[in-house]
Structure 1
Amino acid sequence: MTGTQSRIALREGLASGRLLRFPGAFTPITAKLIEERGFEGVYISGAVLAAERGLPDIGLTTLTEVSERGRDISSVTNLPTFIDADTGFGEPMNVARTIQSLEAAGVAACHLEDQVNPKRCGHLDGKSVVSTDEMVRRIRAAVGARTDPNFVICARTDARAIEGLDAAIDRAKAYVEAGADLVFPEALTDLHEFETFRKAVDVPILANMTEFGKSELFTTKQLASAGVSLVIYPVTLLRIALGAIERALDSIATVGTQAHLVPDMQTRARLYDVLGYAEYSRLDESVFNFTIPTGQEKP
């Protein structure tokens, strides 16, 4: 789909009453697997983007890095992509440029947060938030800058852990009044808080099911019953992959070969299938051709 088509699809999904599931893709090929498994969208985490570069999630990545990753992932999937835009990379004018850059990258949605810089992971202690007025300016700048009215602007508030639930709801209402299409209340503690938040605001809400955080890892059924419209699993796949990598490296260091790890690996044939080698081959066989291996041979 084009960027506009994916944005329309996301808006239709948010209006459908179904819970939309957006696992986090830490590479473009991961997005292909997410689409293949039948999920409704792809999330692109700022924390993951930083971790890939060996950096902590404290606002060190740039708009260029984020928009390029958004383009890389959006270009290989028909699913809507939803990207973490941190605090918008600067003042309201920077926020406006951020929105236009993400639109140009083919992204369907982004969220902006009300933390101060340098920001922190939303499930860590020691966060600080800007004033409601300052965040409202960010949202207004974002809404005014988008060229595609279907681009979804999500307001994230980290105020629950700092100012309490009621204050976070008051902030969210102000952000919605400023034009936010979706609200992301970060680090809520239980289902009742999600239910309370949803009843208080006039737009859909998002749940962040990140591991090792403040929120319990609720099921999709529980979240849907609480009125949540979209759930993200931002770092799940990266953590799974890094855990497997660490175990594999330890095993190779101990055993001296990776042969015993082969049964747990994706085969070469399966990788080629995910990448679409056959489609590339058929594209222009007169110029270049190659043989597609079959079966479950070793990589």
Structure 2
Amino acid sequence: MAGLYSTTFTPRERRQALRDGLNSGTIQRLPGAFSPLVGRAIQDAGFEGVYVSGAVVSADLALPDIGLTTLTEVAGRARQIARSTDLPVLVDADTGFGEPMSAARTVSELEDAGVAGCHLEDQVNPKRCGHLDGKEVVPTELMLRRITAAVNERRDDTFIICARTDAAGVEGIDAAIERAKAYADAGADMIFTEALHTPADFEKFRGAVDVPLLANMTEFGKTELLPADQLQDIGYNAVIYPVTTLRIAMGQVEHALQDIAVTGTQSGWVDRMQHRSRLYELLRYAEYNAFDQQVFTYSAENYQSSFTPYATYASDSTDPTHKNS
């Protein structure tokens, strides 16, 4: 990650990295990021990719995951996250934010955002969370139009178009498999098998579908939480943990706020916080300071009389623990 403001890897290089990973025999693990900083932490922890969940973008905007977010909001957040990491970023594009023509525009916008790929689903528009009851899926031919429009609009052939099917919970797993085969024939590079229940379900899907498969290990849903190694042994190529980081963060936030409301202090939580020095490591604070000193040749004394607050900060700018930082 040589660049301070963005990765130095091109979008095509990161897209190719994801494609290579899907074909490597090693499962690609993509935790969900709800912010650019989380995306950077995912890279620092050694994962193969980053996922941007539609449910998480919705939740971060204090909205339910029922198709209320816009393409602009999702593409904007995806662009911010893709900028912050060298890893390939896969984005939840819901139903394509409209009809097949909208799915085509979605691919164009997400390519411009620098992400590695997206997935489109076969729910009706507006959609709902894939692990809730009462879902509806569109006819297969309409989903094929979505995929075809997306594939035709794609300008970079390394950009991954993944087709998600929610049919297992609506029409049964056999129908979902038939849909997956049709979606692959229409040009989908990968199939996202939503809301399967057991390892046997995953094995059945893998035995019937030839293209790369993505598993969703989301908490509190219909799917048994399987370790990545087990999914790899079954033959799955990628796994997402879409809402995990948000749930962990919000769980801690709520507990801490409740405690502070009662005690009047956050002192009991200090040891459970990310330390400021670790935050500054992720922010690459020292590198920004070094960059600043190379470009701006000033001394604190020259600025002391005219702009005391800035001079005070500049005099200790190399110390990321300075009290004004």
TM-score, structure 1 normalization: 0.97
| SS in structure 1 at match of 2:30 | strand
- Structure 2 residue ranges without an equivalent (≥5): 1-8, 299-313
Distance 2:112 2:268 in 1: 45
Does 2:283 align with 1:275?
yes
Does 2:226 align with 1:199?
no
Alignment of 1:184-195 (within 5 A): 184-195=192-203
Alignment of 1:1-299 (within 5 A): 1-285=9-293, 286-287=295-296, 289=314, 290-293=317-320
- Per-residue CA deviation, residues 245-270 of structure 1 (Å, 9 max, x unaligned), is 00000110111101111111111111
Counterpart residue identity of residue 128, structure 1: E
CA RMSD, 1 decimal? 1.4
CA contact (8 A) 1:156 1:183 kept: yes
Structure 1 runs of 4+ aligned residues shifted over 6 Å read none
User: How far off its partner does 1:226 sit?
Assistant: 1.1
CA contact (8 A) 1:277 1:292 kept: no
CA contact (8 A) 1:43 1:234 kept: yes
Considering only CA atoms, is the larger Rg found in Structure 1 or Structure 2? 2
TM-score, structure 2 normalization: 0.89
Identity of aligned residues (%): 60
CA contact (8 A) 2:162 2:192 kept: yes
User: How far off its partner does 1:294 sit?
Assistant: 5.5
Distance 1:38 1:68 in 2: 25
- Per-residue CA deviation, residues 39-94 of structure 1 (Å, 9 max, x unaligned), is 00000000000000110000000000010011000001000000000000111111
CA contact (8 A) 1:192 1:226 kept: no
- Per-residue CA deviation, residues 14-56 of structure 1 (Å, 9 max, x unaligned), is 0101111000001100001000010000000000000001100
User: How far off its partner does 1:242 sit?
Assistant: 0.3
User: How far off its partner does 1:227 sit?
Assistant: 0.9
Counterpart residue identity of residue 291, structure 1: T
User: How far off its partner does 1:292 sit?
Assistant: 2.5
Counterpart residue identity of residue 218, structure 1: L
| SS in structure 2 at match of 1:49 | helix
The 10-residue stretch of structure 1 (247-256 or 286-295) with the greater mean CA deviation from structure 2: 286-295
Counterpart residue identity of residue 32, structure 1: R
| SS in structure 2 at match of 1:192 | helix
Counterpart residue identity of residue 146, structure 1: R
